[in-house]
Amino acid sequence: MVAAIAALGVGAHRDKLVIDMFTKPQAVHQQTTNVAAEQCLYQAIRSEVPKGAPVYTQDGYYTQRLAELSTLWAVPVPTLAQARYQLAVIPGGQCYGLALKVSRA
């Protein structure tokens, strides 16, 4: 009985650590900024890229994010040769410290 209670207690304690991690004001602020930046990039793609355009999203860390945020608007293609636009995320002020860079492929 003691072992079972202890094990469940350890499991519950792990969850407490997660709650503590995500309820700190800094964490809330950081994650709010992150999701706002993502939402901003989502809108930026819709305003700067024509609908249905083939886009090349290979941009290191942001490759998958750009492909995801292009969904239902632009069409990610596997090679630059097939693309009309190349998308990249660069440091800047447009989206909470990030900016969408759209260039002709």
By CB under 8 A, name the binding residues for another protein: 1, 3-19, 21-23, 27-28, 30-32, 34-35, 38-39, 42, 57, 63-65, 67-68, 71-72, 75-78
User: Beta 85-95 vs 98-104: how paired, if at all?
Assistant: antiparallel
Nearer to another protein, 32 or 92 (CB): 32
Nearer to another protein, 27 or 90 (CB): 27
Kindly state the smallest distance separating residue 19's Cβ from another protein, in Å.
Answer: 5
Nearest partner of 34 among 102, 99, 95, judged by Cα: 95
Nearer to another protein, 9 or 50 (CB): 9
Nearer to another protein, 30 or 48 (CB): 30
Kindly state the smallest distance separating residue 94's Cβ from another protein, in Å.
Answer: 17
Max CA distance (Å), the chain:
67
Calpha distance 21→5 (Å, rounded): 24
- Contact assessment for residue 99 and residue 90, using Cβ atoms and an 8 Å cutoff: yes
Calpha distance 25→5 (Å, rounded): 32
